[in-house]
Structure 1
């Protein structure tokens, strides 16, 4: 391959998250998986130019959304226009998407087990509802990592308690879909620092439910 081996590139964008009548300042991770020629973008928060700074001059094959909270999808349509790539989202998150985007939709429905190849590596969608009904993690086995959005953080499961979220469902998703991964699997999160499956295992298993 002339583009070199697949790798993970990272950026951080800053903006707000709004739901249930409250707004918070947040920093979001942007993850780009690919080589020197092509890539996919995971989540589209806050600032198209900041995302494109991570992408560089590569061809974007797809914009993959872990879920449809506004801080993860706000600039997805604008990014789609700039890079001419489809937006992929799990259809169960349509109610959340429509809170931010009332007059346009994503392009392709994500479902559990869906795969995409980029730069010689494969990403697989894992449906992990709980933080949001259509929350999805993206597993990259060849790279030894999983992109968890707001499903699993450094420090445990993601937040619940707001509309469309449910703590027992979230913990069950992590237990059944993520804890079977090797302990050294790197967890690239939607906010904050990386962790590993092994580092989070005991905390998740200690959760009731």
Structure 2
């Protein structure tokens, strides 16, 4: 029996460079009836905990450290005992939100994380943020892209610590190496597929 994917949508504010935007975030749970990973603990620890129920949370995985993706991570970690995992290149952004709390462990490109017998491969995909990562499950034919790739193309790169040529290179070298049928579960909005997004990313 393989892991399954569940989605919780939470709402709050994204803040960076002095701006504030109301946003809805996708929080992804991957696991089974006994254990789960939480991908991007956004805004509302209570709502996320409600979706988890009595399952064991093995890790809270951050696709990147913009506040709207990590603002509920410490509270959820305290509640569940789960470690928070973040790529070290995003510590500069993490510290803008949680200057007094450090992540528990570092993510690295090529790392394999296993939940409910299902492997997730960590893909370092900088551009939207320097430590942005995507999480790919070959078995589930699914990739969790955070804000690196959306339905419609690349994530935003108009703010601090982001770069458009870098995100395009990340998508083309890491994500477009995946099969076209791979489902793309994003940090905001609707899911898509790798094949559907090939025409939406510049060459």
TM bucket, shorter chain: over 0.9
Residue in structure 2 matched with residue 135 of structure 1 by the alignment: 132
Report what 2:26 is aligned to: 29
Partner residue in 2 for 1:98: 95
Q: Which of 63, 67, 74 is the aligned partner of 1:70?
A: 67
**Number of residue pairs the alignment of both structures matches:** 203
State which of 153, 160, 164 in structure 1 corresponds to 2:161. Answer: 164
CA distance in 1 between counterparts of 2:59 and 2:10 reads 19
SS of 1:142's equivalent? coil
Q: Which runs of 5+ in 1 are unaligned?
A: none
Structure 2, gaps ≥5 residues long: none
- CA offset at residue 5 of structure 1? 3.1
- Aligned counterparts, 1:16-95, within 5 A: 16-95=13-92
Task: Give the distance between the partners of 1:97 and 1:41, measured in 2 at CA.
Answer: 17
Structure 1's consecutive aligned runs of 4 or more residues displaced over 4 angstroms after TM superposition are none
Quote the offset at 1:148 in angstroms: 0.1
Report deviation, 1:167: 0.3
Equivalent-residue separation in structure 2 for 1:182 and 1:116 (angstroms): 20
Q: CA deviation at 1:55?
A: 1.2
C-alpha separation in 1, matches of 2:3 and 2:94: 30
| Residue in structure 2 matching 1:14, options 7, 11, 18 | 11
What RMSD, in angstroms, separates the aligned Cα atoms of the two structures? 0.8
- With structure 1 as the length reference, what TM-score do the two structures score? 0.96
Q: Structure 2 length normalisation: TM-score?
A: 0.98
